[in-house]
Amino acid sequence: MAYRHVVGPRTWAFADLATLMAKATPPRSGDRLAGIAAESAEESWAARWCLAEVTLKEILARPLIPYEADAVTRLILDTHDAAGFAEIGHLTVGDFREFLLTASPETLARIAPAVTPEMAAAVSKIMRNQDLILVARKCRVVTKFRNTIGLPGTLAVRLQPNHPTDDPAGITAAVLDGLSYGCGDAVIGINPASDSVQALGDLLHLLDALIQRHAIPTQACVLTHVTTTLEAMERGLPVDLVFQSIAGTEAANASFGVTLDLLKEAHEAMLSLKRGSLGDNGMYFETGQGSCLSADAHHGIDQQTLEARAYAVARPFRPLLVNTVVGFIGPEYLYDGKEIIRAGLEDHFCGKLMGVPLGVDVCYTNHAEADQDDMDTLLTLLGAAGCTYIMGVPGADDVMLNYQSTAFHDSLYLREVLGLKRAPEFEAWLHAIGLTDGAGTLLTGAENRLLADAPGLAA
Amino acid sequence: MSDQAEIWARLARLTPARIGLGRAGSGQTTRSVLGFGLAHAQARDAVHTPMDADAVRAGIEALGLTVRAAASRAEDRATYLRRPDLGRSLAPESRDALAAAAGEPCDLALVVADGLSARAIHENAVPVLEAFRPHAEKAGWRLAPVVVAGQARVALGDAVGEALRARAVAVLIGERPGLSSPDSLGIYLTFGPRPGRSDAERNCISNVRAAGLAPDAAAFKLAWLIGQALSRGLTGVHLKDESDRALEAPDLPAALVQG
């Protein structure tokens, strides 16, 4: 069915819902690369006017990829909360925006299972940045493994101690550095250079020993392919969180070597280990706009809608953490600071609206038109939006993955400016070992007990 | 505190990561903010500095190799960054010129491509080719002219290799510059080059630069991989780089390279 919108003497027509949503998307290079972006500014706003008139019921009734053709579509429709949908199904996308702006946190939590990724994406396209921040801030998504992530007024940090050759001493040094800045409550998570199970085992033992030695209320993860982690669990290695990169279509997930059944198998294996002391949210997923197009698996759908579909893949596994790696993929998908900032806010909003614990890797590559000032802007906006967690990378320079993320210091900045606390158990631990005062502020000149590890490293 | 400063200095030597930076309140020190800004500027310049094709050509010709120029369909840097598809495709005039220049079928085409860092090419391409040439001579491989290609992505080599009737193509290309490595060269080897090859069908040697994998070592790895590719008729995920083993057993490389 075609959609139409009249502007003065001109009638804009859109062949179907996928076309309408693509044209209504705020401009970005990836949709242009795919050849589906609006061709003029007026067309883009005509599409937004038109999309605002579509009801949520109609979006539910017109899957962008057919049920028979795609496992992610089947997952979305088979797990849809029809009862909760009764409250919102009659709304148009335009009315839904106003509903969200006025909704209480309790209402937003109640409707989350009824919100499909297509609905979240559609409403985000007609929202300004401030709308995305305001609504996301009201969404509460709390998860637990060895600490409590996502409480109002908190911000967690993934400590990312990567090393170009997985050198154990170098990784330990970076972990000690990050902990000393009060980072690591979300997870201590290494992207390994090697993908062998042997190397994975060495790193898992290293992190497990470090967490136990210092009794740190946090969890570890080595971010390798889920099949490798499954093998590690079978071998009895100490796996806390199970990681996988995911995307919004069956074909894109296949290009990552992942199926929903494989994720289910890994989820069950993680649960059987019972390594979480406070809760069993033990999955960790990463996503990012552009991955489906990059895998030639986008079905003519815009990259932001496909990204929201990735959160639908994550949702049934009750993950501890999900983060978009927003500027990592490069300028052919998000060209500059403006596009990266917009995408980061959209991704965070869509994830939270769907009930997923969304964090953001605030990042960019050197061939994008972006710099630290853009990252400071996005970081601050995400802090205001109640982002679940950000990354902590030494000096913001990831020497293994060759991109720039956020530094340990950046979380200190955000805490000071916005009054954000760490996960409470981790906050208490930092105070107990004498690194912070009662308010969570780092003490200057305090004795750093963590450095008891250091002599062993130098030997 | 001085004890701690000493410990952090020692820890910092264990990793190239920027640890032990200290802080000024919740912010970074002036020294680390300015250091980061300068490194980012160098990486940005590496992306946007145009390749000096004449100088690269002269350097390669001085090694006694013939050179041809080529261009992708991306007309400028801004287009190149937004449209990777154009950077993978040969400009029609380049395709025609290479096809006209192609001689008999040959073993290997070498492509020197700016990629995302012309600086990587300026500093590393000629040294790698210089180190590689004796390996090629020893093995008796027939080489196509070296193609110097502008606004090029890795897959441009597929069209070049096909036009030059080469059994394999090696693309020396400027890698996406890291903050601490704006000068890093990558080498991608593809057997049976033709448009449509996937990245899973290539072998890659990365981080070739003075502070990374030295040109001699890179040339040795490349020669080992080419020997394997030509004798086994494949590259990619099924060809594992075991050249390190060849290095540890000094008698082996010659035999393998000639295989």
Contact between A32 and A74 (Cβ < 8 Å) = no
**What residues have CB less than 8 Å from A179, skipping those under 6 apart?**
A159, A214, A216, A450
- How many other β-carbons are positioned within 10 Å of the β-carbon of residue A335? 21
pLDDT in tens, A129-143: 999 999 999 999 999
Contact between A35 and A25 (Cβ < 8 Å) = no
Is position B175 annotated in a ligand binding site?
yes
Residues facing residue B146 across a β-bridge: B67
Taking the domains of chain B in order of start, what are their residue ranges? 50-258
- How many other β-carbons are positioned within 10 Å of the β-carbon of residue A424? 15
- In whole angstroms, how far apart are CA A152 and each of A140, A155, A387? 7, 9, 10
The pLDDT score that the predictor gives to residue A396 is 97
DSSP secondary structure letter of residue A357: -
Name the nearest CA neighbour of B202 among B163, B161, B164, B165.
B161
Any alpha helices (H) in A139-225, and if so which ranges?
Answer: 168-180, 197-213
Per-residue confidence band for B256, with pLDDT thresholds at 50, 70 and 90: very low
CB contacts, 8 Å: B179 with chain A = 366, 397, 399, 402, 404
pLDDT less than 50: residues of chain A: 459
Strand A3-7 to A148-149 pairing: unpaired
- Rounded distance between C-alpha atoms, residue A353 and residue A111, angstroms: 9
The pLDDT score that the predictor gives to residue A198 is 85
- Work out the average pLDDT over B199-228: 91
The pLDDT score that the predictor gives to residue B257 is 34
- A206 by Cβ neighbours in 10 Å (0-12 / 13-18 / 19+) ranks as buried
pLDDT in tens, B7-22: 999 999 999 999 999 9
The pLDDT score that the predictor gives to residue B247 is 61
Residues facing residue A189 across a β-bridge: A221
- Rounded distance between C-alpha atoms, residue B235 and residue B132, angstroms: 19
Average pLDDT for chain B: 91
Contact between B125 and B170 (Cβ < 8 Å) = no
- Rounded distance between C-alpha atoms, residue A450 and residue B13, angstroms: 18
A454 and B14 within 8 Å at the Cβ level: the answer is no
Name the nearest CA neighbour of A275 among A219, A326, A344, A329.
A219
CB contacts, 8 Å: B32 with chain A = 395
Residue B137 distance to chain A (closest CA, Å): 34
In one-letter notation, the amino acid at residue B244 is: D
CB contacts, 8 Å: A451 with chain B = 4, 7
B15 and A371 within 8 Å at the Cβ level: the answer is no
Best mutation target, B2, B8, B18, B79, to test chain A (most A CBs within 10 A) = B18
pLDDT in tens, B176-194: 998 888 899 999 999 999 9
Residue A343 distance to chain B (closest CA, Å): 17
The pLDDT score that the predictor gives to residue B2 is 64
Please name the residue of chain A whose CA is at the shortest distance from the CA of residue B198: A295
* Selected residues 161-180 of chain A with any CB under 8 Å from a CB in chain B: 161-164, 167, 169-174, 176-177
SS3 A251: helix
The pLDDT score that the predictor gives to residue A55 is 98
The pLDDT score that the predictor gives to residue A458 is 56
CB contacts, 8 Å: B14 with chain A = 167, 169-170, 172-173, 457
Name the nearest CA neighbour of B162 among B197, B133, B129, B187.
B197
pLDDT at B98 over 60: yes
Contact between A140 and A105 (Cβ < 8 Å) = yes
Is position A159 annotated in a ligand binding site?
yes
Share of chain B above pLDDT 90, in %: 79
pTM of the model: 0.91
Name the nearest CA neighbour of B227 among B184, B257, B203, B254.
B257
- Rounded distance between C-alpha atoms, residue A406 and residue A147, angstroms: 22
Best mutation target, B42, B173, B179, B180, to test chain A (most A CBs within 10 A) = B179
Is position A212 annotated in a ligand binding site?
no
- Rounded distance between C-alpha atoms, residue B39 and residue B138, angstroms: 41
- How many other β-carbons are positioned within 10 Å of the β-carbon of residue A452? 11
pLDDT in tens, A31-80: 999 999 999 999 999 999 999 999 999 999 999 999 999 999 999 999 99
B27 and A413 within 8 Å at the Cβ level: the answer is yes
DSSP secondary structure letter of residue A407: B
Residues facing residue A143 across a β-bridge: A149
Which CATH entry fits the domain spanning A143-432: 3.20.20.70, 3.40.1190.20, 3.40.50.720, 3.90.1170.50?
3.20.20.70
**What residues have CB less than 8 Å from B209, skipping those under 6 apart?**
B120, B123, B124, B181, B183, B184, B185
Best mutation target, A366, A391, A402, to test chain B (most B CBs within 10 A) = A366
Please name the residue of chain A whose CA is at the shortest distance from the CA of residue B86: A33
Q: CB contact, 8 Å: B43 with chain A? A: yes
DSSP secondary structure letter of residue A241: S
A454 and B10 within 8 Å at the Cβ level: the answer is yes
ipTM reported for the complex, 2 dp: 0.94
How many CA atoms lie less than 13 Å away from B46 in the CB half-sphere? Answer: 30
A409 and B39 within 8 Å at the Cβ level: the answer is no
- Rounded distance between C-alpha atoms, residue B164 and residue B117, angstroms: 25
- B9 by Cβ neighbours in 10 Å (0-12 / 13-18 / 19+) ranks as exposed
B12 and A396 within 8 Å at the Cβ level: the answer is no
Name the nearest CA neighbour of A284 among A226, A316, A242.
A242
A399 and B43 within 8 Å at the Cβ level: the answer is no
Q: Which residue has the tokens 């979300």?
A: A186
B47 and A367 within 8 Å at the Cβ level: the answer is yes
B19 and A394 within 8 Å at the Cβ level: the answer is yes
Residue A46 distance to chain B (closest CA, Å): 25
* Selected residues 277-316 of chain A with any CB under 8 Å from a CB in chain B: none
The pLDDT score that the predictor gives to residue A356 is 98
Please name the residue of chain B whose CA is at the shortest distance from the CA of residue A376: B27
Please name the residue of chain B whose CA is at the shortest distance from the CA of residue A166: B15
Compute the residue count for chain B. 259
Best mutation target, B14, B76, B114, to test chain A (most A CBs within 10 A) = B14
Is position A231 annotated in a ligand binding site?
no
- In whole angstroms, how far apart are CA A269 and each of A226, A243, A272, A278? 11, 13, 5, 18
Q: Kindly report the backbone phi and psi dihedral angles of residue B52, in degrees, each rounded to the nearest multiple of 5, phi listed first.
A: -85, 85
Contact between A348 and A358 (Cβ < 8 Å) = yes
**What residues have CB less than 8 Å from A139, skipping those under 6 apart?**
A105, A108, A109, A112, A352, A353, A355, A386
The pLDDT score that the predictor gives to residue A446 is 84
Name the nearest CA neighbour of B246 among B214, B215, B223.
B223
Assigned CATH topology for domain B50-258: Rossmann fold (3.40.50)
pLDDT in tens, A219-245: 999 999 999 999 999 999 999 999 999
Of A332, A399, A404, the CB nearest to B16: A399
The pLDDT score that the predictor gives to residue A459 is 41
